[in-house]
Every structure is written in structure tokens, then in C-alpha cells.
Amino acid sequence: MMGYRDLLTLWRKRAIRFEPDIDPRQQIGLSSIDLRLGYLFTKQRDAPGYTIDPFDEEFDPSPHIETRDLGQQPLPTGQNPNFVLKPDEFVLSRTLETVHIPPNLAAQIQGTTTGARSGLSIHATAPHIHPGFSGSITLEIKNLGQWHLRLNPGKRICQLILFQIKTPVSRREVKDMSSYQNQLLPYVKRKVGVATPT
């Protein structure tokens, strides 16, 4: 696992890159990098009794979801956009930062203690990020508590934890085996990655 000095060195050498860039004084911690909440929020449309196979490679979610871009909504002067998450509500969002991870590192995304104590789950079950990943990170957000939670784009909401892997993967393996590279929306049709043995 990468600690504070490792993370600072990786950032300074641009071995890990972020767009927009992070502020190391505020976002690099003892063993993680804080990432900020983006502006897109995708919800499943109400469809009582509707059943899908989430692992169906041909499933296209686009007719069954609705996405709000809070960055495009006009607001009165001085007001910041926010998304209110009701108790037991589930929504997909993404990090404000696009993240570029090199082939010799893997990562995990986790929520923060502060959010968790209010019942906020940031990553439902899939925290792992593969070596060579490039893109914004989709957040699987759920309100497990009893309060309505106000989510503010641009605020720190999750932590990126980096690990060095024993043998770096090749660029070809990254290209062949990645499913969600450079995704533009939180919920997209999945590209199924297949390894090509060498």
C-alpha cells in the first residue's frame, strides 16, 4: 500500500495523474488521496416488477435510467448545486477527477468515515480499480441512514487507495481486458474485456 510520501512522490512525478489536478495539501492523506464528487447523477427509472440480468453482456441500461447534470442547471446567484439523497435511495455518480493509474499500480475506492457515520455508502460492492485504468470513477452511492443527505459536487467524498502490484501489466493487456475505460456516463453498456494470451 502506498503511504503519504509514496503518494506525494507519485503525484509530483506525474506517475498518477488527475484532471482537474488535485491539491496535495488538502487531498493527499496518510495512505489515500481524497477525490471530489462530480456533477452527474444517474438513477434507475421507477419500474415496479421490472427484472434484468445485470451480467447480460447485451443489456443496454440507457432506456431505463435518467441522468441529471447539475453542472448544466442554472441556479440563483450564490447558490451551489446539490443532490439530495433520500433514505434507502441508490444513485450512481462519478468523481470530479479523471484518474490515470499506471500499469504497475492498482487501486481501491472507499468512502470516508465522516460520510459513513451519516449512513452514506459510496461504493456498494465494487471498490477495485485495475492497473492502467483511465477515466472518472463511478460511485455506487446509497443512503443507509434515516436522514436526507445533501451531496455537493466539488466536495471531497471518497478516498483512492493505491497498491503496487508484483508484476506490471502490459499496455496491450490493459487495452484487451478493461471494461470501463474512459467512460463518460456513470451507467453505460459494458465493454467485455477478453485476455489475449501471449
Query: 3-class SS at 179?
Result: coil
Q: What is the pLDDT of residues 29-53, one digit of tens each?
A: 999 999 999 999 999 888 788 888 8
Q: Domain 4-46+61-71+81-177 has what CATH class? A: mainly beta
Give the residue numbers annotated as catalytic, written as ranges: 140
Count Cβ atoms within 10 A of the Cβ of residue 32 and give its class: 0-12 exposed, 13-18 middle, 19 or more buried.
Answer: buried
Q: What is the pLDDT of residues 162-189, one digit of tens each?
A: 999 988 787 777 666 566 666 666 555 5
* Extents of the domains making up the chain: 4-46+61-71+81-177
CA distance 54 to 70: 27
This model's pTM is above 0.85:
no
Q: Which residue has cell 498518477?
A: 16
